[in-house]
Structure 1
Amino acid sequence: MRQENKNEVLEIDLITHLKKLWLNKKLICSICITFFILGCIIAYSIPKTYKVEVTLSLESGQNGSNNNLAGMASILGIGSIGGSGQDAVNSTMFPDLIQSTPFILEMYNVKVTPLKLTQPISLSDYMDTQKKPWWSYVLGLPGKAIGGIISLFSSEKEINENRIIDPFRLTGEQNGKISAIKEALSASEDKKSGMTIVSATFQDPEVAATIADSAVVKLQEYIIDYRTRKAQEDCNYLEKLCKERKEEYYKAQKAYADFMDANRNVVLQRTQAEGTRLQNDMSIAFQIYSQVETQLQVARAKVQEAKPVFAIVEPATVPLGPSGPNNKIIIFFFIFLGFAGSSFWILFGKDLWTSIKK
């Protein structure tokens, strides 16, 4: 019986609320229309953006080639090389790497050609041309007024110096552009497939495609440079050492040849001993030069094997349509907000306000 009474009370309350809303349907409709107009203003004030995604897969050439390098080293008669095959840089670091300030500064002067322009401009100059919603200009008026006053007391030399990028000490304008580029660039990893998705979102489709492609290229250059740096340093050192040992061998060879030519018909024991010594020096120099040359060949192979392979699964293409904002969702949200707000006011707000006044 108690359960039936509760159900009846709930049904009565629900019917009462629905009747109350129906009696105030004109107020609800007017508020919904107002919020619909407000939603349209907000939705169409947000600039359109275009998003380009590039999908790539990183395949390390080092880990799978250590066996080949070890086999090559054993055939040539030198110690094992190739290390443990562990690498400090992998695809999980791409999101943090692409959001780092040094990486963004490399993108700062990338040349882009927006649809409305015929001449390419730098990305930093393009960021000044991106549109903003009208309310951002209203909210930024106090800051612009303060900046204008400060600019009156700053010299032309200081203004020119602000255009020079110092990563250690960025200006407010430079920091704002870098933050905007960081928001436009992103990278994520698909844990199932192990692929990396690099995305760029800008208000111009050509710029979005160009920056996405450039970001992937610079990302590849950074990873290749990082993974081959140690091997390349070893290779450069061995090339220098090989050149020195080659010169020493040629010098010992020339000394032995000159001595033998000068003492061709001499049979003195002292002369023979000196010839034997020079021949041994030449043989030792040749052995050292030969070993260093062998190590150099292996080091060159190690540099090549250490280079990672990037497979571009989905390249950058110019988008045909904008990716945002979704005007329908924004307008529907505002209509729902107007309906929910007006309903709450009719059902509970009036009584609550009356009780507060009393």
Structure 2
Amino acid sequence: MSEENKNNDQGHNSDQPGKKKKTDEFPIQEYRLVPAHEGYADYEEDEIDLIELAKTIWDNRVIIYKFVAIGVVLGLVVALLSPKEYKSNATLMPETQSSNAGASGLLQQYGGLLGIGGGASLEGGGIIPPQLYPQMVQSMPFQLELLNTEVEFPRFETSATVYTFFDEVYAPVSVLSYVKQYTIGLPGKLIGLFKEEAAPRPLPKGFETDSVISVTKGQMQIIENMRGRVSVSLDDESGIINLSITMPDPEAAAQLAQKSIGLIREYVVNYKTQKAEEDLVYAREQLEGAKEEFEAVQNRLAEFRDSNVNLSSARAQTQLQRLQSEYDLAFNVYNSLAQQVEQAKLKVQEQTPVVSVLQPVQVPVNDETSGAMILIVFVMLSGIASIGWIFIRQFLESDPFGRKSED
């Protein structure tokens, strides 16, 4: 067979079904070289021309002037109608660790003379970490104590509790409050027209800190308002606590700041000395009972001696010994409880923490409402809004691909 026939037979066999071509096993891949400038053509079209952007803003500068003018007017209106707020500050230095001096040192020196063990430990529980002071000030019991405080408001020519002031007296004139009242709060006002007003409920007071507190929705709004007016910050390096109270009246702000310092001290002392105070109360109760028993035995012994001067009989001597034993026992119990009471007093004194005032409360002179800052903010917002409006209008006047409309 010739070479030509063999090649034809091989080509014929390769076309038979079930057999793959060699080119199918290794497909041929094609590569095409593209010039570099073609790959960047679309990118160059999408580049932002800063010069063109600045030219667009400059051509529409009249719009910016109009927006800024409106912003200035609105800023002046808001600055003039915004309610004035006054902030009173104070700086506190709480006790960070217990000391072994003081009452414990006196106990070690003179405990033997008093009949109290000099080696007794007066150290109690820990103190409140300074990091918890903000949570303590924002707690519900603390806020209710402030709201129930009677405060003078010379600027408003009245004297009332803080809760009554915010509930009945204070009605701030603010553009934002009016906008909020007649936009977001409009549905609530309309619903309130068809609802019967419930009888006002007094704000809780005189409650225990571990009791269940129930307040109304309106009272809760005033509580949240008061929480925003009380601020406590901690300096981690020095441990100094900065207290600030913001109120519509400068005198009221100073009075509430002073009240807050007193409440902070009271909370810290109660937390640290609660167990020692309970022990002292219990020791005093036991001492009163032992004192009554001792005086009763003492009176019986005196009456027996008065009625039996000679003590000639053995029965009388036995009775005297029995009364004398009761007297000695009652005296020992009374003396021991008296020592425990004195030790409990020293323990309370030792565990009483100290919250020092580094910067006392001052009546604020200037209000916190900055009209210049409000005006600057409104001018900046109006300028940003004007630039945004220029590009939005330009986009609306052209199609999404940037071609100007035929109109």
TM-score class, shorter: 0.7 to 0.9
Instruction: Supply the AA of the counterpart residue of 2:135.
Output: D
Residues 122, 235 of structure 1: alpha-carbon distance in 2 compared, 3 angstrom cutoff: same
Task: Name the counterpart of 1:169.
Answer: 214
Residues 304, 60 of structure 1: alpha-carbon distance in 2 compared, 3 angstrom cutoff: farther
Length, aligned pairs only:
344
Query: Mind listing any 5+ residue stretches in structure 2 that lack a counterpart?
Result: 1-36, 38-44, 205-211
**Separation in 1, partners of 2:262, 2:328:** 49
2:252 maps to which of 198, 207, 217: 207
**Separation in 2, partners of 1:96, 1:185:** 11
Task: Name the counterpart of 2:31.
Answer: none
Task: Name the counterpart of 2:21.
Answer: none
TM-score between the two structures when normalised by the length of structure 2: 0.74
Matched, 1:258 2:303: yes
Matched, 1:184 2:229: yes
2:84 maps to which of 48, 55, 74: 48
Residue aligned with 2:399, SS: helix
Q: Is the 8 A contact 2:90 2:360 kept in 1?
A: yes
Shift of 1:123: 1.0
Which aligned pairs between 1:153-164 and structure 2 lie closer than 5 A? 154=197, 158-159=198-199, 162-164=200-202
**Separation in 2, partners of 1:74, 1:321:** 56
Shift of 1:296: 0.9
Task: Give per-residue Cα distances to partners, 1:25-63, cap 9 Å, x unaligned.
Answer: 222222222222233333333222111111122237954
Matched, 1:111 2:155: no
**Separation in 2, partners of 1:220, 1:163:** 30
Task: Give per-residue Cα distances to partners, 1:313-333, cap 9 Å, x unaligned.
Answer: 122222111112x33233223
Q: Is the 8 A contact 2:78 2:175 kept in 1?
A: no
**Separation in 1, partners of 2:270, 2:124:** 19
**Separation in 2, partners of 1:107, 1:148:** 32
Residues 42, 286 of structure 1: alpha-carbon distance in 2 compared, 3 angstrom cutoff: same
Which aligned pairs between 1:1-358 and structure 2 lie closer than 5 A? 13-59=49-95, 63-65=99-101, 67-68=104-105, 71=108, 75=112, 76-78=115-117, 80-87=120-127, 89-127=128-166, 128=168, 129-137=170-178, 138-139=182-183, 140-151=185-196, 154=197, 158-159=198-199, 162-166=200-204, 168-324=213-369, 326-346=370-390, 350-351=394-395, 354-356=398-400
Task: Give per-residue Cα distances to partners, 1:157-187, cap 9 Å, x unaligned.
Answer: x41xx23235733222211111111111121
TM-score between the two structures when normalised by the length of structure 1: 0.83
Moved more, 134-143 or 70-79: 70-79
**Separation in 2, partners of 1:259, 1:217:** 57
Q: Is the 8 A contact 1:61 1:305 kept in 2?
A: no
Residue aligned with 2:350, SS: helix
Structure with more of its chain in helix, by fraction: 1
Moved more, 119-128 or 38-47: 38-47
Residues 83, 64 of structure 1: alpha-carbon distance in 2 compared, 3 angstrom cutoff: closer
Ranked by relative contact order (alpha carbons within 8 Å, sequence separation 6 or more), the top structure is 1
Residues 85, 174 of structure 1: alpha-carbon distance in 2 compared, 3 angstrom cutoff: closer
Residue aligned with 1:150, SS: coil
Residue aligned with 1:301, SS: helix
**Separation in 2, partners of 1:340, 1:236:** 68
**Separation in 2, partners of 1:222, 1:348:** 58
Residues 261, 204 of structure 1: alpha-carbon distance in 2 compared, 3 angstrom cutoff: closer
**Separation in 2, partners of 1:356, 1:20:** 18
Q: Which structure has the larger Rg?
A: 2
